[in-house]
Amino acid sequence: MPVIYWDRIEGLYCKCTKGDIAIFKILENCIKCIWCGNEIKCIPPIEFVWKEKCENCEGKISTFIIDSAGNKVCSRCGSFK
């Protein structure tokens, strides 16, 4: 399961990974994969993370975050739900 720390989130799906193993740094207006630099626009702090299929990721399972504004964002493609 993904774990949210104060400065990062571990256990997310990303474009650069096959599984939910990516680590994203939490920045001011996005989260950013520490390996490939993939930036996912959102408004930290991140409230919650869960797994669900993403239509924009060819229906593959991904992780979604809920940010402080209530946006639901796919951590792989950055699309809003």
Residues in touch with Zn ion (CB under 5 A): 14, 16, 33, 35-36, 38, 54, 56-57, 62, 74, 76-77
Minimum gap (Å) between residue 48 Cβ and Zn ion: 17
Q: In whole angstroms, what is the distance from residue 72 CA to residue 78 CA?
A: 9
The backbone torsions φ and ψ at residue 22, rounded to the nearest 5 degrees and listed phi first, read -75, 150
Minimum gap (Å) between residue 66 Cβ and Zn ion: 15
End-to-end CA distance of the chain: 21
Residue pair 49/14 in contact (Cβ under 8 Å)? The answer is: no
Question: In the complex with Zn ion, which residue's Cβ is closer, 4 or 14?
Answer: 14
Instruction: For residue 3, give both structure tokens.
Output: 């774990």
Question: In the complex with Zn ion, which residue's Cβ is closer, 57 or 66?
Answer: 57
Question: In the complex with Zn ion, which residue's Cβ is closer, 4 or 38?
Answer: 38
